[in-house]
Amino acid sequence: MSITTDAPPRPKRALPPLMQLSDAAAERLRALYEKGEQGKLLRIAVKTKGCSGMSYDLSWVDAAGPGDETVTDKGVTVLVDRKATLFLIGTVMDYEVKQMSAGFTFTNPNEKGRCGCGESFHV
């Protein structure tokens, strides 16, 4: 006995972008790519570290590796370690300048919590 249906296939739900860059992050990366890190790409990974279990790991690389996903937003390209993609889907990378510090920050909808010092997170 075979079962057939005439129902049309369900439309696929659009996936959120892997990562997005804020205007400030894109501007800062453009400046870094044009000056001190010319010819390199920023690679974003997630490492096991800290009291909550995971932390963002940023490094400069000469080219994409076989385990990297390429993300281009606002005309700027970054690489994401394929092992980190499930932890980073929908994340927005920003660049914040505060009174005593400046750096890249992440707004990650997958985070369930952060440690008290803010250095690590868990999903």
- Does any domain span residue 116? no
pTM above 0.75, yes or no: yes
- Does any domain span residue 13? no
Band of pLDDT at residue 49, cut at 50, 70 and 90: low
Q: What is the pLDDT of residue 111?
A: 72
- Does any domain span residue 28? yes
Q: Domain containing 29: what range? A: 19-109
Got the DSSP string for 8-76?
PPPPPPPPPPSEEE-HHHHHHHHHHHHTTTTT-EEEEEEEE-SSSSEEEEEEEESS--TTEEEEEETTE
CATH number of the CATH domain containing 64:
2.60.300.12
- Does any domain span residue 14? no
- Does any domain span residue 100? yes
Q: What are the pLDDT digits (tens) for 51-84?
A: 657 788 899 999 999 999 999 999 999 999 999 8
- Does any domain span residue 123? no
Indicate the number of domains in the chain: 1
**Contact between 25 and 94 (Cβ < 8 Å):** yes
- Does any domain span residue 98? yes
Q: What are the pLDDT digits (tens) for 36-45?
A: 888 899 999 9
Question: Closest by alpha carbon to 39, among 10, 77, 82, 89?
Answer: 77
Q: What are the pLDDT digits (tens) for 5-29?
A: 677 777 776 667 889 999 999 999 9
Angle made by CA atoms 54, 115, 80, in degrees to the nearest 5: 30
Band of pLDDT at residue 96, cut at 50, 70 and 90: very high
- Does any domain span residue 94? yes
